[in-house]
Amino acid sequence: MQESAQVSSTLHFGICQYSTMFSCRMCSESPFQWLAGGNRQSAGAGGRKSGARNATPLSTSQRNEATFVARTEDEMKAVIRQWEQYAHPRSREFFASPEMLEEVLTQLVKGIDRGADPILGPDEKCVYWYGDVTKEDMQAAIRMVKPGETVESVTYVNRVLAFIFATDDSFELLMRLPKEPLKMGCGDQLCVHLAHISLSV
């Protein structure tokens, strides 16, 4: 499937610039529980060291690991500073300190090619994930210890991105979906572009 292909149920995300906390009804109920949806145990994800990146990728993925170029430390810091400006207040409420949010954003930046941006990049271009993936179904994932917890869990990247950056209207619609990896409208589950997240079940 071409990178530019979009299905009718794809949700186009606007970058959130709201200053008030949880202005929609759905967000005021359980936004934090939504992020927890679809969690896997730590053993359920594989990464570069575990060898899961050598597993057979999704048949529809156009990702080419040979083309991956990591950002430098300075480049990562610059991208994180830029992304932090667009983080929704719900994420700042969820992560107990700016450092915790920065740690999650750092994990996200490390798994994305230096020439790609899932938040501010062009909508027509897929942004592929090169970090950890779940062993069973090859979904993009990161490991994180959520506030108030002591056990590390594995959370789907597209859910983390939507939680941090989606507008209230978009997030309200996503909260109605099953607690699973969000479907990508481009048809490639290793794409993590915010604008490609679909409303289809």
- pLDDT digits over 96-148, tens only? 889 999 999 999 999 999 999 999 999 999 999 999 999 888 999 999 877 77
Query: Cα–Cα–Cα angle for 129, 124, 26, nearest 5°?
Result: 75
- For 47-72, what is the mean pLDDT? 67
Please give the Cα distance from 34 to 31 (Å, whole number): 5
Note the pLDDT of residue 34: 66
Q: What is the pLDDT of residues 172-197, one digit of tens each?
A: 899 888 888 899 999 999 999 999 99
3-state SS, one letter per residue, for the chain: CCCCCCCCCECCCCECCCCCCCCCHHHHHCHHHHHHCCCEEHHHEECCCCCHHHCCCCCCCCCCHHHCCCCCHHHHHHHHHHHHCCCCHHHHHHCCCHHHHHHHHHHHHHCECCCCCCCCCCCCCCCEECCCEECCCCCEEEEECCCCCCCCEEEEHHHHHHHHHECHHHHHHHCCCCCCCCCECCCCCCECCHHHEECCC
pLDDT given for residue 102 in this prediction: 95
Average pLDDT score, the chain: 78
84 pLDDT more than 60: yes
- Greater model confidence, 38 or 155: 155
Place of tokens 């610059």: 78
Which pLDDT band holds residue 164 (cuts at 50, 70, 90)? very high
Q: Is the dihedral of CA 190, 195, 200, 201 positive or negative?
A: positive
pLDDT for position 45: 41
d(CA 173, CA 159): 13
Is residue 169 pLDDT above 70, yes or no? yes
pTM, 2 dp: 0.76
- For the chain, the residue count is 201
User: pLDDT category, 36, cuts 50, 70, 90?
Assistant: low
Q: What are the pLDDT digits (tens) for 86-96?
A: 999 999 888 88
Please determine, for residue 42, whether its predicted confidence score (pLDDT) is greater than 80.
no
